[in-house]
Copies of this chain bind each other. A is one copy, B any other.
């Protein structure tokens, strides 16, 4: 955070830019896009990164099913078209947050490469940071965790088109960050991500 500027200046010529906001926040805006199977640990690592960033005094915000599906995307279902539109809108919202200078932690299964590539290109066209974080976990591990009991329901046929069971998960070909969540500790995962952010000047080193 930079020192407060003059307090009696109510405006100046020209518009405030992303760079101004980033200077205020002492960071660069960026989207961390966590993708992986249900139960792979996407939200767990996103929450841990959020805690680590706040402990450093850096502003971040998590987007996930809870605050998106109940709000902006509540008029979308689970058809192929709606899933694509769901991810597109989340990508556009992430971009607005990046423009604000915020580090966005977007945590969604997002199983299709095409949809993730759309989000990437939305960022690329403005030269904004997009960091695909593949939270890689074997189906066996994810299914054995089954924190929400969804795999059990999918195996019983109560949920259709469930990623990993009767719908594909298209693994990222070249993710910026590849976490093996069934082999790494949470602390290791967080460290990899923070190091990436420092190495790319999104965060200042401590």
Contact = CB atoms under 8 A, between A and B. Distances in A.
Interface stretch (A43-51, A131-139, A142-150): A43-51
Interface string A1-34: 1111111011110011000110011000000000
A87 to B, nearest CB: 12
A72 interface: yes
A21 B93 CA distance: 19
Contact of A48 (B11, B21, B187): B11
A7 B3 CA distance: 20
Interface in A41-76: 47-48, 50-52, 54-57, 59, 61, 63, 67, 71-72, 75
Interface residues of A, number: 50
A175 B47 CA distance: 38
Interface of A: 1-7, 9-12, 15-16, 20-21, 24-25, 47-48, 50-52, 54-57, 59, 61, 63, 67, 71-72, 75, 85, 89, 92-93, 95-97, 99-102, 122, 186-187, 190-191, 206
Contacts of A9: 55
Contacts of A56: 4-5, 7
Contact of A72 (B54, B92, B206): B92
Contacts of A3: 57
Nearest to A9: B55
